[in-house]
Structure 1
Amino acid sequence: MQSIQASNYPIHFNEKGYEALNLHLKENKYSNLFIIVDTNTNEFCLPKFLPFIETDLTIEIIEFENGEENKNIETCVQIWNVLTELGADRKTLIINLGGGVVTDLGGFVSSTFKRGVAFIHIPTTLLSMVDASVGGKNGVDLGNLKNQIGVINTPNMVLIDTEYLETLPQNEMRSGLAEMLKHGLIYDKAYWEQFLDLKAIDFVDLDELIHRSVAIKNEIVSQDPTEKHIRKSLNFGHTLGHAIESYFLENENKTTLLHGEAIAIGMILESYISLDKELINADEYNLIKTTIKSIFEDVTILDNDIQPILELLIHDKKNEYGTIQFALIEGIGNIKINQSVENELILRAFNDYKS
């Protein structure tokens, strides 16, 4: 597949990615190489990755426990300490091999250690391939609040190898599909329509769908790297989705949701809000709702869950001057940003989701 040129870095695919990586290692005089992994990617992905590396550099592996609950500043401190103890310097290269937690956290660690060292992302989950690896957002959670601490800083390169997906469980694959569906809903109606019959998609199609999803996100981010305007469109489904994800993460009586599972709920809720505001019609809404619900199981949200979820909205990073801002779809394939939504309408959206 053809490489994609982002604003300051290339995104390579499959075999071409390893060729580009080894050329990069040859052409740049790095002092040493650190690979950040979590416990899952250390077991399932690192053994596949290491044989492709052609370098005389000393390679050190830094592992941390997998899971969103470990995407925090405490984990960063531990990794910064290890980097220091093992002699990392300004000429160090860090490769972040893993899903969105690894690339988000690893990018933040790299961007802040000694005021910034070079890093490369190698996403290994569908979600991280189509979302976390593109756009330069790096960061960690603050308690249960998603991505409150971070920087926008681009990697030297992104390498996407879809063979890593063979190690993923089905729920992780579905989680990534949520972001791909979002890209179609906000930007490309024809792309969205390719997902209406998932049974017709084979692995070759998936490679092409991933490439298109990455291209869509890159096209949006390239127009607005610092999220002042059109990049806000990528937040469709995330205003409520992140609040739901945070609430389920902090509540010991709830089963923690994967990112895509929460965003799927958020897209249904925010599509209902789009319907109520007459930005989409009933047929479009019903198609969105039935399509997403055919992929993702319903999640039980009780009446007494909704108020705590609403209270978490105030921490959303898109808020301006204390006002909650939504990105809503205006017909499938188009978006309208900076939309204010009253709580009564959000409540109706939750009631519709549960019905």
Structure 2
Amino acid sequence: MQTITANNYSVYFDSKGYETLTEMLKPSHYSKIFILVDENTSQYCLPHLLNNLATEIEIEIIELEVGEIHKNIATCTEVWGALSELGGDRKSILINLGGGVISDLGGFVACTFKRGIDFINIPTTLLSMVDASIGGKNGVDLGNLKNQIGIIREPKAVVVDTQFLSTLPQNEMRSGLAEMLKHGLIHDKEYWNKFKNLKNLSTEDLNQLIHQSIEIKNEIVCEDLTENGIRKALNFGHTLGHGIESYFLENEDKTSLLHGEAIAVGMILESYISKEKNLLSNEEYQEIKYIINDIFDRVEFTEKDINEIIELLIYDKKNEFGKVQFALLDGIGKIIINQETDNELIFKAFKDYAI
């Protein structure tokens, strides 16, 4: 697949990615290589990477526990300490081998260790391939609040190797599909239409869809790196989706949702709000609701759940001047940003979702 050029880095695919790594990772460029993994990627992905990593530089592995619950400053402190103890200096480089948690946290650690060292993202989940590893957003959660602490700084490179997808369970694959569906809804109706019959997609079709999804996100990010304008389009489904994800993460009586599972619900809810604001036709809304519900399991919400999720919205990092901001659909394939809504309409959206 063809290399995608971003603002200050490129996204390389499969063998081209490893050829590029070989060129980049020379003793004249870096003093030491650190590879950040979690328990899963250490077992299933690290051997494949090391077999394709040709370098004379010393390599150190730093392993984390699995899960969003560990995406916090405490874990960063552990990684900063490991980097120091293992002889990391300003000419070290950090390779983040994993999903969204590893990409987000590893990028943040690299940006802040010794006031900033280089890092490379090698995403191993579908979600991180099409979303977390692209665009330069690095950060961690603050308690149960998503991505409250962070910085925007782009990696030296991203390497996408779709062989890693064979290690994923089905729920992780579906989680990544949510962001791909979003890219079609906000930017490209023709791309969205390709997801209407997933059963007929081949492996090659999926690879091309991944490449196109990355192209869509990259195009938007290149236009607005610091999220002052059009990049806010990428927040569609995330205002309510992040609230849902945070709420389920902090409540012991709830089964935690994967990021994509929460965003799938958020996209249906925010599509309903778009419809009620006469931005989206009822026919388009019903199509979106049907396709997403055909892929993802329905999530149940009590009135108490909804009230507490709405209360969490005030902490959303997209808010401005104390007001909750939504990116809403202006028809399939188009978006309108900086939209406000009231709690009554949000409640109606949840009630319609349950039907």
Normalising by structure 2, report the TM-score: 0.99
Q: Does 1:248 align with 2:258?
A: no
Q: Bigger CA drift: 258-267 or 46-55?
A: 46-55
CA offset digits 1:44-103 (Å, max 9, x no partner)? 000111011111111000001010000000000001001001110000011000000000
Counterpart position of 1:192: 192
Residue identity opposite 2:45 in structure 1? C
Shift, 1:27, TM fit: 7.8
Q: What SS is found at the alignment partner of 1:26?
A: coil
Q: After TM superposition, what 4+ stretches of structure 1 lie above 6 angstroms from structure 2?
A: none
User: 3-state DSSP class of the match of 1:294?
Assistant: helix
Measured after TM superposition, the shift of residue 312 of structure 1 is: 0.3
Residues 245-289 of structure 1, C-alpha deviations (whole Å, 9 max, x = no match): 000000000000000000000000000000000001010000000
User: In the alignment, what sits opposite 1:266?
Assistant: 266
Q: In structure 2, how many angstroms separate the alpha carbons of the residues matched to 1:254 and 1:333?
A: 34
SS of residue in 1 equivalent to 2:278: coil
- Give the root-mean-square deviation of aligned CA atoms: 0.7
What SS is found at the alignment partner of 1:351? helix
**Identity within the alignment, %:** 64
> Structure 1 residue 329 and structure 2 residue 325: aligned?
no
* Ranges in structure 2 where 5+ consecutive residues have no aligned partner: none
Cα distance per residue 1:202-250 (max 9 Å; x no partner): 1100100000000000000000000000000000000000000000000
- Say whether residues 1:179 and 2:179 are aligned partners: yes
**How many residue pairs end up in the alignment?**
355
- Measured after TM superposition, the shift of residue 28 of structure 1 is 4.8
Deviation at 1:302, TM superposition (A): 1.1
Other structure's SS at 1:107 match? helix
Asked if residue 141 in structure 1 is aligned to residue 141 in structure 2, the reply is yes
Counterpart CA distance in 2 for 1:15 and 1:32 is 23
**What secondary structure is seen at the aligned counterpart in 1 of 2:328?**
strand
Aligned to 2:212: 212
Q: Is the 8 A contact 2:139 2:147 kept in 1?
A: yes
Aligned to 1:96: 96
**Aligned equivalents of 2:284 and 2:56: distance in 1?**
56
Provide, for residues 99-129 of structure 1, a one-character-per-residue CA deviation record: whole Å limited to 9, x for no partner. 0000000000000000000100000000000
Query: Counterparts of 1:147 and 1:24 in 2: how far apart (Å)?
Result: 30
CA contact (8 A) 2:40 2:66 kept: yes
State the TM-score, normalized to the length of structure 1: 0.99
Structure-2 separation of matches of 1:202 and 1:115: 45
Q: Contact between 2:9 and 2:154, CA under 8 Å: does it hold in 1?
A: yes
Q: Tell me, what secondary structure is at the counterpart of 2:225?
A: coil
Aligned to 1:62: 62
TM-fit CA distance, 1:26: 3.0
Aligned to 2:285: 285
- What's the counterpart of residue 109 of structure 1? 109
